[in-house]
Structure 1
Amino acid sequence: MKKLRIALAQINPVVGDIDGNTDKIIATVRKCTAESSPQVVLFPELVVTGYPPEDLLLRSSIARRVERAIKRIADAVGDAFVIVGYPRYLDGALYNAAGVFYQGKLINEYFKQCLPNYRVFDEKRYFKEGQHSLVLDMFGVPTAVSICEDVWENGPMSAAKAKGAKLMLNLSASPFHAGKQVEREALLAQRAWQGGMPVVYCNLVGGQDELVFDGASMAVSADGELIARSPAYREHLSYVDAHWDGGNLNLLPGDVTDLQPVLEDIYQTLVLGVRDYVNKNGFNGVVLGLSGGIDSGLSLAIAVDALGPERVHAVMMPFRYTSSMSLEDAQAQAELLGVNYQVMSIEAIYDSFMAALADEFDGTTVDKTEENLQARCRGVLLMAISNKKGYLVLTTGNKSEVAVGYSTLYGDMAGGFDVLKDVAKTRVFELARYRNTLSEAIPQRVIDRPPSAELAPGQKDEDSLPPYVVLDRILERYIELDESAETIIEAGYDRDIVYRILRLVDLNEYKRRQAPIGTRITERSFGRDRRYPITQKWPIGD
């Protein structure tokens, strides 16, 4: 009986940094070879370029740069099979490839057969589908190679089984959404049963623009039992051992990191999304407006957990409508989290703008214009701090507000990254309560008080919107489940409210198109998942 050790190299590349990613791949191979001498080292999908490289794949120099990386990896590989993902030009076509390296050579390649082209995925824009399975002898074990979506479809596993494979290795770049890990594990168990062979799966980790790849690489036995699960949200080297008796490969029990509750997963996803966006783009830190409300309060906590308090600057920008409670709560939270905190009144700035606009506004009545002007005064201050100090401005609008346009262009929407863009308001409250179970971070009064933009005397969000518990259910049905207005009404929601909310969602596409990106946590975020025209005459709610 032979023993086979497989290393799962769950790493965090930077998109486009082919040289840096290749350095990391080589260093990881050397590290795991030195510490554990595995026979196989498995990396994630497209790890050489990072995922998704999008239109970088169309750059004329990419083939040359990838070829150079392939040669460097080959030169660094010794007596272990190393499987690495990269884009590969061949005969005028581009493939999503997995290269198998051994003893200083690239000995074989597999081209991804099932190209996802839905939601955040757009692979048919770039890649040609592979047509053939790859099964090769790895220390006596007939081993198949596949890439991500290939295990979400039936065909590649059936073809590998027909070729005599006894082990499936899968390179993956599978982004997070709430509940995704449970789906993955059920899927891998199904494929293992289908093929009658273990499946070893290595997933990417790290944030890339709005996407977060959560890692949690794993191995599943031939009968669908979970044998190993790597930690989520961080780079990690794990090892899976197997016994080969000449006919079957049996995985030995490995380390299984516990699954986290969904709420904790969402929180960690938001933290990693902020950390990698800030660090990979080279910002010195972040600045955000701290209003004393729950959205900015949760955003501040996430920023501190992502970057540390020394890289977070919070600014309270009061106006005549700002309550003493908001001032007290903002200061209390800043002190709790130990961030750099400053108070800058917008009163004089607002008055200056109003004086400049006096002739234009003569004979008009006070309306939303004056409220929006307050938000824009704040946006100017935050952007000035950003420019001067090299900080990224974090905006704090939640998904409910973004959906219905309850925000101000060039005001509270001014910034580079929206921490809560895909987080519904009701979930904001859940996450705030969860964060306080880790340590005191958000004053309880911030969580308990009725939400308000404080742009007018006595203003509350529910003066303009239905209760968030109602609003969020309607938005979920319309945005994430694609239900029509009538279907939502049949579920028990008021007709007038449904049509008013859906009309707001449709009308505010122009705002969302100008909004900063934010971390995706659902299957239908505003961004790559949901692409609607701004100029259109589609009937509301149909």
Structure 2
Amino acid sequence: MKIAIAQLNPIVGDIEGNAKTILEAAQTAFNQGARLLLTPELSLCGYPPRDLLLNPSFVKSMSIELEKLAQQIPPELAVLVGTVDLNPNAASRGEKPLYNSIAFLEQNQIQQIFHKRLLPTYDVFDEDRYFESGRESHAFKIFPSPQASNFVKVGVTICEDLWNDEEFWGKRNYEASPIEDLAQLEVDFVVNLSASPYSVNKQKLRESMLLHSVTKYKVPIIYNNQVGGNDDLIFDGNSFAYNRQGEICCRAKSFETDLILLDFSEEKQDFLPATIHPLPKTQEEEIFSALVLGLKDYAYKCGFTKVVLGLSGGIDSSLVATIAVKAMGKDNVLGVLMPSPYSSEHSITDAEALVKNLEIKSYQLPIAPAMKVYDQILDPLFAGTQSGIAEENIQSRIRGNLLMAIANKFGYLLLSTGNKSEMAVGYCTLYGDMNGGLAVISDVPKTEVFSICHWLNRHEEIIPHHVLIKPPSAELKPGQLDQDSLPPYEILDDILARMIHHHQSISEIVNTGHDLDTVKKVMKMVMRAEFKRKQAPPGLKITDRAFGTGWRMPIASRWL
């Protein structure tokens, strides 16, 4: 029996468009001899639909399109479609009104509906807000061909349903164990239809987790994941399958749509070897690919064809410009140089070298005249005070205003270029360098920015050499360096990782060798910068603890 795994890139809310994509995948799969087609979790509406689910007409539209799909798909092809199902007992039992579901379509009808049992409510997930948990695990029976006398029994799980093995995790997060229940039903294999967001090295975790389940329950598993960018989330695809022996027998592409075929042998009761696409070779390649996809989809799904960003001659804007060229094409990227009296000569020449390497359009807008006008306007109020942060921030806000003007005038998407280290400690200016429609590298620490840029230059110079070796500086006053205000980035990033990702206390971080005063200073900076992060543009998530929808810290707080 031939199984097609459709790794789709839905647009959230485009129910008709997503249905068309599913139908096209079904036609392709049928033409290639498939008997069963798999699509990801909520493939009909896109994941995550968030509060669109509160709109009854949105839910009704899914029901209508699902019925149409059932009629349009070749009747000989069975298809699993991610959708939403109404909970008829919601009002009488005080339950949530919807189920996160999979519809089994065959013979032009909706044959069965399967409900997700384990609903994640952590980090970026908030499914308990909308959905009721399914109470049982179910399977469906499918005959491999019209001539077949024996059926194949397929167990259905949805994303989180397989993320609850207490032996693998060292604890149980939910009472139910869907995979254990399906094993007791003696299914021939299990499918897991997912919309699992990307984070660094997550694919290795998925494969290790499912290998544990395959080995434990002696049941083959197909994992089918969504791909694409939806707001701050990136979905990496990487759909794969394990055979009964715990061997990977197929893997779809990383960060691309794909449709791969997998054979299930009724004689061997197992999957046969098929196409196995390789994973990215390095972490730098993986992150770069994720950011390219995230930017490309964010722009496309929001209706932008061109982007603009400020080029300071620094490493952050150099990396963002390189990502933009890969995502949008060099003709669709505008870099704006905005030198001040404090800009070094190298800042201009480095930015110009980058423009030449990337072959993008650029424009130079010196900001000295605007700085003088601001000084004149504010002189009566600022008279007798020392020049300081307020004046420095005016420079950043002048640049932010100019970039917003260009974006508004020409309909470009403005990209902000701040990294995670800066966002964490508030080393950024509201309504200045934080301006933008998307913060491309806001989840990439400064040390990782350097690593990715060195990786980009492995074959040829893309990031100018001087950008890689000069000390980072905001250049808002003479001779300014980032390290005047911050610890060296190697130290800062390690402290931030321990605090943000591992939730370590001051004493725990100090016990690893860090200076007490430095740790206290960094932690206070992180807490005090929360008001800035709340006003930042959405940023692409690449770690398990990003400053996005999963970050829920108070602003008015006296912790630390």
Q: TM-score under structure 2 normalisation? A: 0.94
- One-letter amino acid of the counterpart of residue 254, structure 1: A
- Unpaired runs of 5+ residues, structure 2, are 91-96, 144-150, 166-176
Q: Tell me what 2:233 maps to.
A: 211
Q: Tell me what 1:521 maps to.
A: 542
Is 1:479 matched up with 2:500?
yes
Task: For residues 385-415 of structure 1, give each alpha carbon's deviation from its aligned partner in whole angstroms, at most 9, with x where no partner exists.
Answer: 0001111110100000000000110000011
Moved more, 149-158 or 15-24: 149-158
Separation in 1, partners of 2:219, 2:273 = 15
Is 1:109 matched up with 2:113?
yes
1:469 Cα shift? 0.3
Moved more, 526-535 or 471-480: 526-535
Match of 1:63 among 59, 69, 76: 59
Task: For residues 91-137 of structure 1, give each alpha carbon's deviation from its aligned partner in whole angstroms, at most 9, with x where no partner exists.
Answer: 04200000000010010010000111111111111100001111121
Separation in 2, partners of 1:354, 1:416 = 29
- One-letter amino acid of the counterpart of residue 109, structure 2: K
1:196 Cα shift? 1.6
Contact 1:197 1:249 (8 Å CA) reproduced: no
Q: Tell me what 1:234 maps to.
A: 256
Separation in 1, partners of 2:211, 2:459 = 34
Task: For residues 469-507 of structure 1, give each alpha carbon's deviation from its aligned partner in whole angstroms, at most 9, with x where no partner exists.
Answer: 000000000011111111101111000000000000001
1:439 Cα shift? 4.2
Q: Tell me what 2:272 maps to.
A: 252
Task: For residues 300-341 of structure 1, give each alpha carbon's deviation from its aligned partner in whole angstroms, at most 9, with x where no partner exists.
Answer: 000101110111000000000111111111011101111110
Q: Tell me what 2:347 maps to.
A: 326
Q: Tell me what 1:72 maps to.
A: 68
Separation in 2, partners of 1:64, 1:529 = 29
Q: Tell me what 1:297 maps to.
A: 318
SS at 2:309's partner residue?
strand
1:438 Cα shift? 5.2
Task: For residues 19-39 of structure 1, give each alpha carbon's deviation from its aligned partner in whole angstroms, at most 9, with x where no partner exists.
Answer: 1111111111112212x1201
Is 1:403 matched up with 2:433?
no
Match of 1:141 among 152, 174, 182: 152
- One-letter amino acid of the counterpart of residue 52, structure 1: P
Runs ≥4 residues deviating over 3 A = none
Percent identity, please. Answer: 42
Q: Aligned runs of 1:30-109 on 2, under 5 Å?
A: 30-34=27-31, 36-77=32-73, 78-91=75-88, 92=90, 93-109=97-113
Is 1:509 matched up with 2:530?
yes
1:222 Cα shift? 1.6
Is 1:150 matched up with 2:191?
no
Q: Tell me what 1:366 maps to.
A: 387
- One-letter amino acid of the counterpart of residue 62, structure 1: F
SS at 2:487's partner residue?
coil
1:438–1:109 CA distance, 2 compared to 1 (3 A): farther
Contact 1:284 1:389 (8 Å CA) reproduced: no
Contact 2:158 2:192 (8 Å CA) reproduced: yes
Moved more, 409-418 or 528-537: 528-537
Separation in 2, partners of 1:274, 1:349 = 32
* Number of positions where the alignment pairs a residue of Structure 1 with one of Structure 2: 533
- Unpaired runs of 5+ residues, structure 1, are none
1:378 Cα shift? 0.2
Separation in 1, partners of 2:324, 2:66 = 37
Q: Tell me what 2:170 maps to.
A: none
Contact 1:198 1:249 (8 Å CA) reproduced: no
Contact 2:114 2:156 (8 Å CA) reproduced: yes
1:195 Cα shift? 2.6
- Tell me how large the CA RMSD over aligned residues is: 1.0
1:230 Cα shift? 0.6
Match of 1:455 among 476, 482, 500: 476
Moved more, 130-139 or 200-209: 130-139
Separation in 2, partners of 1:440, 1:14 = 36
Q: TM-score under structure 1 normalisation? A: 0.97
Separation in 2, partners of 1:456, 1:99 = 61
Contact 2:311 2:336 (8 Å CA) reproduced: yes
Moved more, 256-265 or 209-218: 256-265
- One-letter amino acid of the counterpart of residue 162, structure 2: V
1:521 Cα shift? 0.9
SS at 2:373's partner residue?
helix
Q: Tell me what 2:146 maps to.
A: none
Is 1:467 matched up with 2:459?
no
Separation in 2, partners of 1:353, 1:509 = 28
